[in-house]
Amino acid sequence: MVCVVLKAGSTAWNALLAARYNKTDMLVTRLCYKMIKELMPSPSRFTEVAKSNEFSRILVVRHPLERLVSAYRNRLADPDIIGYQSQTYVPLILAYTRGRSYSHKEIFNVAGRIQVIPTFKEFVSFLVEEEIQEYDDHWTPISYTCGLCYINYTAIIHTETYQDDIRYIMRISGLDTKVNPELMNNYTNKANGHDTQDVLVSYYKQLEPILLRRIIEKFKLDFLLFGYDPNPLVQKIYPNMRVYLTP
């Protein structure tokens, strides 16, 4: 049983499952995310598995600040990806940060590509004022989505050690006898060849200290529960700044 967290290795995991169930069309079209619906259990089955000692319950987590940048780049700032997030949130973000309403024609050109993209600072400025319950699943804190108070997870996978951790899960579940683990390499998003820390610094240096503190506070539980520390990144941008998180 896996809580599939968007922007935390979900594409690679769904690709493995698509291969396991011979969903070749999903692999070719890279629409592996549809496996979530394919394998969605009924409420009664979910409750049974969640409480049973016969099943492993897996949670995949990612550094909150890294996941947020990934969500922005992939769901809002990529002109070639026009989905629910860009169509819904781009107008809201622009209206909030720029004080005016943009028409659909102003934001999207005749080919459907985004031509007015909110900056990362505008995205964060919108999020710090938005209720977490209103967040999209691509950037909702993991602590709010995976029932941590109700499900006793037997393993927590960190994307920082994703390859090794997933191989372990495949081995104990027997999935490695049915699917080649190397498949996940083709469905793992990379930072376009740049060092991840450099990419993160380039985005978060756009935020003044108070805004940076506020967005970290929004993801406080993810930092505390999953052992992540915002300060190494914070101090690359503001050497004299330190963030203290308390439960």
Question: For 149-201, what is each residue's pLDDT tens digit?
Answer: 889 998 899 999 988 888 888 888 888 899 888 887 777 665 444 478 999 99
140 part of a folded domain? yes
Band the pLDDT of 240: cuts 50, 70, 90: very high
101 part of a folded domain? no
150 part of a folded domain? yes
Helices (H), ranges, the chain: 10-20, 24-29, 35-38, 43-51, 64-71, 84-98, 104-107, 120-129, 162-173, 196-204, 209-218, 220-226, 231-237
Count: domains in the chain: 1
199 part of a folded domain? yes
Integer Cα distance of 183 and 188 in angstroms: 9
- Whether the CB-CB separation of 129 and 135 falls below 8 Å is answered with no
pTM of the full structure = 0.89
Domain containing 226: what range? 2-77+118-237
- Contacts (Cβ under 8 Å, ≥6 apart) of 38: 21, 23
